[in-house]
């Protein structure tokens, strides 16, 4: 009696299990289709961008998205029309310098804030945090006057130096260094290591994931930065990509196909970097904000 009941219940459960499994698969497939549809919606502007960049000038105004034949020669042509290679190089050069300096100064300050005990340390740190909330616009006019008096207007130094100190970077590196156990410091001290050795040989290698995240963020942020280069740069051969693209748009905006080729080329590096580095970046964003 009990045996049959048990087996009955089992079979009933199996049936319902089968049903729920079926429903689950249905649900997941629907979800996948929904998500793929949404992805398409997000990607359509980029699709149009790439397809337009491969059109001829005559095809640009047509409602058809597809060109009759892919005009790959548009891409080299961009380099003939405007000094695009120069813009690329300027952007990368400036972003690299800023990234290097910012990561260096930030990690030094973060080391001081997280590993060294000195009176008033936490108050100073709080002040740093507060400056993260300052609207950058407030400082723009005085900073520009400072640049004039230093003679740094229309020079790379004027773009690199002011951007090399970041409260955000310091904050992020400090958050990261706080997670490294302090027993390491004591061990290093017993071995007679100086503070510099502690920083350079112990803490910095252990902060590698944090350093990588900060490097990507800073580099990408400066690759995109617009306001300061726009204000500072006067001669075309010093333009960075964003300013250069704006110049391209305002002088030769009618050649949409070439403009889109330029836009594609300036977006592409970011897409590649993001796809390769996305794991670190997602973690960095979540760490920086959730703990803050």
Partner 1 sequence: MLSKKTSNTIAGIAFLSPNIIGFLCFTTIPLVFSMVLAFSNWDLTLHNMFHDEAIKFVGLKNFIRLFQERDFWKFLGNTLFLMMGAPFAIAGSLIAAILLNKDLKGKKSGVFKIILPGAILFISCVMLTLVGMGAAALTILIVGAVGMTLISGILFGQTVYRTLFYLPNFTSGVAVYILWKKLYSPQTGPVNAVLDKPVSVVGNIVNATPSWVLLAGEWLCLLIGLFIMMKVLKSLFNHWKEGDIGSCGLVLALFFVMLPAFFAILWAPTAAMKLAVPAIAVVLLVFHLATDLKTRDFPCTIWHGVGSGFMIAMISLIPMFMFIGFAAAIAHLADITRQTDFSVLPPPEWLASYDWAKPAIMIMGLWMAIGSNNMLLYLAGLSNVPPELEEAADIDGASPFQKFWHVTWPQLAPITFFIVVMTVIGGLQGGFEMARTMTQGGPFGSTTTLSYFIYNEGFATGRLGYSSAISWVLFIMVFSITMINWKFGSKYVND
Span 206-245, contacts to partner 1 by CB under 8 A: 220, 224, 226-227, 230-231, 241-243, 245
Give whichever of 11 and 286 is closer to partner 1, judged by the CB atom.
Answer: 286
Contact 110, 103 (CB under 8 A): no
Query: Which residue from 175, 153, 292 is spatially nearest to 229, judged by alpha carbons?
Result: 153
Q: Should residue 200 be labelled a site residue for partner 1 when binding is judged by CB under 8 A?
A: no
Q: Should residue 12 be labelled a site residue for partner 1 when binding is judged by CB under 8 A?
A: no
Report how far Cα 49 is from the mean position of its chain's Cα atoms: 21
**50-89 footprint of partner 1 as x/- string (CB under 8 A):** -xx-------xx-xxxx-----------------------
Q: Which of 15, 57, 157, 285 is in the footprint of partner 1 by CB under 8 A?
A: 285
Question: Exposed (0-12), middle (13-18) or buried (19+): which is 214, by Cβ within 10 Å?
Answer: buried
Give whichever of 1 and 41 is closer to partner 1, judged by the CB atom.
Answer: 41
Contact 107, 219 (CB under 8 A): no
3-state DSSP assignment of residue 37? helix
Q: Should residue 260 be labelled a site residue for partner 1 when binding is judged by CB under 8 A?
A: yes
Min. distance of Cβ 4 from partner 1 in angstroms?
29
The CB density around residue 101, as the number of other CB atoms within 10 Å, is 17
Q: Should residue 266 be labelled a site residue for partner 1 when binding is judged by CB under 8 A?
A: yes
Residues numbered 84-143 forming contacts with partner 1, rule: CB under 8 A: 104-106, 108-109, 111-113, 116-119, 121, 124, 128, 131, 133-143
Would you list the DSSP string of 49-110? HHHHHTS-GGGTTSS-SS-SS--TTHHHHHHHHS-HHHHHHHHHHHHHHHHHHHHHHHHHHH
Min. distance of Cβ 238 from partner 1 in angstroms?
16
Interface region with partner 1, contact rule CB under 8 A, candidates 6-14, 73-81, 205-213, 280-288: 280-288
Give whichever of 12 and 21 is closer to partner 1, judged by the CB atom.
Answer: 21
Min. distance of Cβ 237 from partner 1 in angstroms?
18
C-alpha 279/C-alpha 212 separation (Å) is 11
Give whichever of 2 and 97 is closer to partner 1, judged by the CB atom.
Answer: 97
Interface region with partner 1, contact rule CB under 8 A, candidates 2-10, 77-85, 89-97, 253-261: 253-261
Q: Should residue 192 be labelled a site residue for partner 1 when binding is judged by CB under 8 A?
A: no
Q: Should residue 144 be labelled a site residue for partner 1 when binding is judged by CB under 8 A?
A: yes
What's the distance, Cα to Cα, between the start and end of the chain in Å? 63
Q: Which of 24, 154, 186, 201 is in the footprint of partner 1 by CB under 8 A?
A: 24
Q: Please identify which residue in the block is written with the tokens 């397809």.
A: 51
Q: Should residue 181 be labelled a site residue for partner 1 when binding is judged by CB under 8 A?
A: no
Contact 113, 127 (CB under 8 A): no
The CB density around residue 292, as the number of other CB atoms within 10 Å, is 11
The CB density around residue 264, as the number of other CB atoms within 10 Å, is 19
Token output for 255: 């050649």
Interface region with partner 1, contact rule CB under 8 A, candidates 2-10, 85-93, 160-168, 175-183: 160-168
Q: Should residue 278 be labelled a site residue for partner 1 when binding is judged by CB under 8 A?
A: yes
């Amino acid at each position: 009696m009990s045996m049959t009941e048990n087996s009955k219940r089992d079979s009933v459960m199996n049936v319902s299990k089968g049903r729920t499994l079926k429903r689950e698969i249905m649900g997941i497939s629907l979800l996948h289709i929904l998500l793929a549809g949404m992805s398409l919606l997000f990607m359509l502007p980029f699709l149009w961008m790439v397809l337009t960049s491969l059109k001829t000038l005559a095809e640009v105004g047509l409602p058809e998205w597809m060109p009759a034949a892919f005009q790959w020669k548009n891409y080299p042509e961009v380099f003939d029309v405007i000094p695009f290679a120069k813009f690329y190089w300027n952007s990368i050069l400036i972003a690299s310098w800023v990234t290097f300096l910012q990561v260096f100064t930030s990690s030094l300050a973060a080391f001081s804030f997280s590993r060294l005990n000195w009176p008033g340390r936490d108050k100073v740190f709080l002040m740093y945090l507060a400056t993260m909330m300052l609207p950058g616009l407030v400082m723009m006019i005085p900073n520009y006057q400072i640049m004039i008096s230093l003679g740094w207007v229309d020079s790379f130094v004027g773009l690199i130096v002011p951007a090399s100190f970041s409260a955000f970077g310091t904050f992020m590196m400090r958050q990261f260094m706080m997670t490294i156990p302090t027993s390491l410091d004591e061990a290093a001290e017993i071995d007679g290591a100086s503070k510099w050795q502690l920083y350079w040989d112990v803490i910095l290698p252990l902060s590698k994931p944090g350093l990588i995240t900060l490097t990507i963020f800073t580099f990408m942020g400066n690759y995109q930065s617009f306001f300061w280069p726009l204000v500072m740069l006067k001669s075309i051969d010093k333009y960075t990509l964003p300013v250069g693209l704006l110049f391209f748009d305002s002088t030769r905006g009618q050649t949409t196909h070439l403009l889109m080729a330029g836009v594609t080329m300036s977006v592409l590096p970011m897409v590649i970097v993001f796809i390769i580095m996305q794991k670190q970046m997602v973690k960095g964003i979540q760490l920086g904000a959730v703990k803050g």
